[in-house]
Amino acid sequence: MIDADMTLEETAEGIRTMEIRGAGRIARAAVEALEAHAGGLRPATLEEFRAGMQRAADLLVATRPTAVSLPNAVRNVMRTLEADVPLADAKIAFHERAQAFVASSIGAVARIAEFGARHIRDGDVVMTHCNSDAALACIIAAHREGKAIEVFATEVRPRGQGLVTIRRLNDEGIRTNYIVDAAVRSFINEVDLVIVGADAITVSGAVVNKIGTAPIALAAHEARTNVVVAAETYKFAPLTTLGDLIPIEERAPSEVLSDEIAAALPHVRVRNPAFDVTPAEYVDLIITEQGAIPPSMAWLIIRDYLGWSIEQFHQAGDRTGP
C-alpha cells in the first residue's frame, strides 16, 4: 500500500526516483494513487472526470518507461471510464476496479509462489537476481514447505537491491550466499535453478529485467542450468505484438559515479542502463498466476488474460504511429 498522505505527484516522483520500486509494487502504487486522486476530484461532468483522470494517468505512466506493469495496470483501471454512464456510476466503477486490481495483484504473487515452489526440489541451490516479490515468493514458499534449499543472491549494481533480497531471505532463515554480480559465472555450476522476476515480457517470450539478468541467463544456458521467470500476467507487453520495442531506461550517471568524481573525468561518459533483455531461448519456463508456460506461449497471455483483441492492437498502432 502507498502512504495515504502521498499526493499523486509524490507517488509519481517516488516511482521515478525508485523510492517505490519493483514492477508489481509500482503497478499497485500507481493504481492506488489514481484511486485516491479520483476521490479528490470534483468534476461537474463525466467528460471532466475522464480528462482529469487521463492527465493523472499520463503523469504516472511517464515515470518509468520500461516496466510495462505500470501502463498495463493504469490501462486496466482506466478502461472503466470508457463507458457512457452517469458520473456517479463512473466513480463507483473506477473505485471498484482499482480495489479489484490491487487485490488481484497481491493474490497473483501468492499463486505464483504456489506454482513456483513445485519447481524447486528439496536440496536445490537456487540463484536469484534483483529484488522480485514473485521470485522471492517462490523461494520462500519452497522453504516453508520444508525443502532444504540454499540461495545465491547477487549484489545488483549500482543500487544494491540485492541487500533487500538477502535481508528477506535471512529473516526467513534461508541459507544465503551474497555475491557480486560479476561472480555469477564462478558459482553457476553449484546452482540447480535460476529464478528471477521480470519488468516486461515480449510477445516472443524475451524477458526484460534488471541489468545483469541476461549475463546470468547466458551463464546458466552454458551450464545447462534451468532459468525460470516468475511474473504476473500484467507484465506482458501487448504492443510488442505490433513490433514495438520496449524502451530500456538509462538512469542518472550519479548512481554509478559521484558528481565530484565524474567532474574530474571530462572525457568519460557513464552509461547506466537499468535493464537488459534476455532472449527467449535462454528461458526455460515463465510462471504466472495462470500457470507455467514456455516463452513461446507469451502471445496467449496477452490475448487471453490482458484482454487485447486484434482490433485494439490496430487501434493502438494507429495512435502510436510508426
Q: Which of 130, 133, 138, 284 is catalytic?
A: 130
- Largest Cα separation within the chain, whole Å, is 64
Angle between helices 87-117 and 46-61 (to 10 degrees): 30
| 199 is annotated as an active-site residue | yes
Catalytically annotated residue among 124, 133, 138, 199? 199
Grid cell at residue 211: 541489468
The C-alpha cell 508489481 sits at: 24
Query: Kindly report the CA angle at 238 between 234 and 310, in degrees rounded to 5?
Result: 125
Burial label, 113 (beta-carbon count in 10 A; 0-12, 13-18, 19+):
buried
The rounded distance, in Å, linking the Cα atoms of 22 and 198 is 9
Task: Decide if 304 is catalytic.
Answer: no
Number of Cβ within a 10 Å radius of residue 160: 12
CA distance 304 to 301: 5
Neighbouring residues of 76: CB distance < 8 A, sequence distance ≥ 6: 31, 97, 101, 234
Q: Which residues are catalytic, by number?
A: 130, 199
